Chains A and B, each alone.
Chain A
Amino acid sequence: MSPERRWTVDVLLSSALVQARLMRSPVFVVLGVVQPAAFVLVTILARRSPAVDLSQAGLGAGLLSIWAATVWQSGLILRAETWEGTLGPIVSRPAGLAVVLLGKSIGATVRAAVFIGATVAIVSALLHHPIEVDRPLPLAAALAAVLASATVLGMLLSSLFLVTRAANRIAEALMYPVFILGGLLVPLRLLPHWIRPLADAVSLRWGVDLMRAASSGVAQPGRAWLWLGVTTAVYAVLARVAFRRMLVRARDVGSLELF
């Protein structure tokens, strides 16, 4: 490995670690513990008939919370740098903002996943609906792919949130469309037919298909792998375009820390 590449990896890992350590705030407790626990509890307690299959309620609630953490943690990384006054110095360092943003997005997503996973596993088990894992390796592969997709989404949102004063308000509005269209907790078959094609653009919708298949011991659909890859690639392209535009705009009109 060349010194430059090794140095980039060091910056990447350091950024991930710094972000993971920063996530000790009460906001993280809400996203990593309170929210997933509440969704598991509400779903399981609301069941009116034993015929309703809730074996994957924990999995769905966990993915809902991964999305919420992506919006509120990864999505606000660059905005947080602005609040702390550290965005400009990072941009002007040799490593560049992109490596730092990638590292921080990875740190935020992985740490959130660990806490959310532990919370939904414990609460589901306490309510006698433990998360089943019939095929651990495919489940782990699907989880890794979902987290990669969430990381890319976080980078996209982070770049977009930097150019608006209303980032928090927009973050609020972004939560529930994906909760509904992602089919994460409520199956897509319950939605009207005309709205289902929109769900195909949500990468987590394919991720949850893969995780459910692995959890229940059936073969993972190849189509879901394909579309998870395609949607994540599209998010990555959009993130790159948004990130570059944000930097060009900042250099052009000196607006990095302004709106």
Chain B
Amino acid sequence: MSSSDPAGALALAARLSWLEYRAAYPWRIYLISALPRALLQVLFFAYLGYFTGGHTGRTFAFVGASAHVMLIATVIKGPDVLLDERVLGTLYRLRLGVLSVPAVIAVRWWVYAAEAIVDAMAVIVVVGPFVVGLDVVERLLLALPLFGLVALTTSALGLAVAAVSMTQRADVLVTNLANYAALVVCGVVAPLSALGTVGMGIGRAVPLTHGLLAIRAAIDGRPWVGEALLEAAVGAAWAASAVIVLLVQEWRARAFGIGDRI
């Protein structure tokens, strides 16, 4: 492999990303910590929905929380792909490489998108039968491609969050803020209509909102393609914003020699 083989270099980056993930989250840790957290988080929100809205609220909250749980991987953990380079002082080497930083980060991100989908599947299969019944579980499993779409669009949100956090010492704040903001404005436990006009407008500009509407439509047997396309468009806009921020940061680092200043 050489600099003339960018596809091979990106494939290597993707493979190394898996090894890095396994080192940070060995199976034992995933099974005793990350997975139970995902299951219990969704169970908690389902009960919260039950408390505030009865059986209807419980099903609504379970479906919403099953999609929102993916943000643990794509918005909270995923940004480490980029931020660890800053923490470990290796960001400049990435910037000096032959591949663009956004491309390298994007291919390394796949493990977190995959974890998001696995988390959502586990939640649906393990918690779902006890909370919403097998009928809804079956329909949610049929809607898994939409969960895959949401994993990608929320990864775009995560990348934007990581890019903004790069020049600050506030990555924990920004990633968690994005996660909790999505919980409130994306129609996860409380329906979008409860947010008012302004809140709904904000919510519709955040990845997850349209994806969740598409998932709800799909399991109810209503048309969902329109909402899915909107989700893809919102995700693409966030991805483009993230790439622009990363490129501007790279340009500033070269122009002003501030690559390592954080």
Contact with B along A167-204 (1 / 0, CB 8 A): 00110110111011000011100110000000000000
Q: Which residues of A contact B53 (CB under 8 A)?
A: 46-49, 52
With A34-B180, A48-B53, A169-B29 known as contacts, the answer to whether A180 contacts B47 (CB < 8 A) is: yes
Mark out the residues of chain B between 24 and 51 whose CB falls within 8 Å of any chain A CB in the assembled complex.
25, 29, 32-34, 36-37, 40-41, 43-44, 47-51
- Whether B172 and A45, one on each chain, are in contact in the complex, defined by CB atoms closer than 8 angstroms, is no
B176: interface (CB < 8 Å) = yes
Q: Give the contacting residue for A52; candidates B34, B51, B170, B188; CB below 8 A.
A: B51
- Whether B34 and A172, one on each chain, are in contact in the complex, defined by CB atoms closer than 8 angstroms, is yes
Q: Tell me the nearest residue of chain B to A51, going by C-beta.
A: B54
- Whether B41 and A42, one on each chain, are in contact in the complex, defined by CB atoms closer than 8 angstroms, is no
What CA separation (Å) do A30 and B172 show in the bound complex?
8
What CA separation (Å) do A173 and B25 show in the bound complex?
14
Chain A interface size, under 10 / 10 to 19 / 20 to 34 / 35 or more: 20 to 34
- Whether B36 and A173, one on each chain, are in contact in the complex, defined by CB atoms closer than 8 angstroms, is yes
Mark out the residues of chain A between 6 and 27 whose CB falls within 8 Å of any chain B CB in the assembled complex.
25-27
With A26-B170, A34-B180 known as contacts, the answer to whether A45 contacts B190 (CB < 8 A) is: yes
B57: interface (CB < 8 Å) = yes
Q: Tell me the nearest residue of chain A to B171, going by C-beta.
A: A26
Q: Which residues of B contact A250 (CB under 8 A)?
A: none
Q: Which residues of B contact A169 (CB under 8 A)?
A: 25, 29, 32-34
- Whether A190 and B50, one on each chain, are in contact in the complex, defined by CB atoms closer than 8 angstroms, is yes
- Whether B48 and A176, one on each chain, are in contact in the complex, defined by CB atoms closer than 8 angstroms, is no
What CA separation (Å) do A187 and B50 show in the bound complex?
10
What CA separation (Å) do A172 and B172 show in the bound complex?
14
Interface of A, helix, strand, loop or mixed by DSSP: helix
Q: Give the contacting residue for B47; candidates A27, A48, A49, A191; CB below 8 A.
A: A191
A247: interface (CB < 8 Å) = no
Q: Which residues of A contact B40 (CB under 8 A)?
A: 173, 175-177, 179-180
Mark out the residues of chain B between 45 and 75 whose CB falls within 8 Å of any chain A CB in the assembled complex.
47-54, 56-57, 61
Mark out the residues of chain A between 141 and 173 whose CB falls within 8 Å of any chain B CB in the assembled complex.
166, 169-170, 172-173
- Whether B190 and A42, one on each chain, are in contact in the complex, defined by CB atoms closer than 8 angstroms, is yes
Mark out the residues of chain A between 21 and 42 whose CB falls within 8 Å of any chain B CB in the assembled complex.
25-27, 29-30, 34-35, 37-38, 41-42
- Whether A46 and B61, one on each chain, are in contact in the complex, defined by CB atoms closer than 8 angstroms, is yes
What's the least CB distance linking A202 to chain B, in Å? 14
What's the least CB distance linking B170 to chain A, in Å? 5
- Whether A46 and B170, one on each chain, are in contact in the complex, defined by CB atoms closer than 8 angstroms, is no
What CA separation (Å) do A169 and B194 show in the bound complex?
34
What CA separation (Å) do A163 and B85 show in the bound complex?
28
Q: Which residues of A contact B37 (CB under 8 A)?
A: 172-173, 175-176
Q: Which residues of A contact B171 (CB under 8 A)?
A: 26
- Whether A34 and B52, one on each chain, are in contact in the complex, defined by CB atoms closer than 8 angstroms, is no
- Whether B44 and A30, one on each chain, are in contact in the complex, defined by CB atoms closer than 8 angstroms, is no
- Whether A180 and B43, one on each chain, are in contact in the complex, defined by CB atoms closer than 8 angstroms, is yes
List residues of chain A with CB under 8 Å of any chain B CB.
25-27, 29-30, 34-35, 37-38, 41-43, 45-49, 52, 54, 166, 169-170, 172-173, 175-177, 179-180, 185-187, 190-191
Q: Which A-B residue pairs are the 7 nearest by beta carbons?
A: A26-B173, A176-B40, A45-B190, A48-B53, A169-B33, A38-B180, A46-B190
What are 17 A-B pairs at a CB distance below 8 A? A26-B169, A26-B172, A27-B173, A34-B177, A41-B190, A42-B48, A42-B189, A46-B57, A46-B61, A46-B191, A48-B54, A48-B57, A49-B53, A176-B37, A176-B40, A186-B48, A186-B51
List residues of chain B with CB under 8 Å of any chain A CB.
25, 29, 32-34, 36-37, 40-41, 43-44, 47-54, 56-57, 61, 169-174, 176-177, 180-181, 183-184, 188-191, 194-195
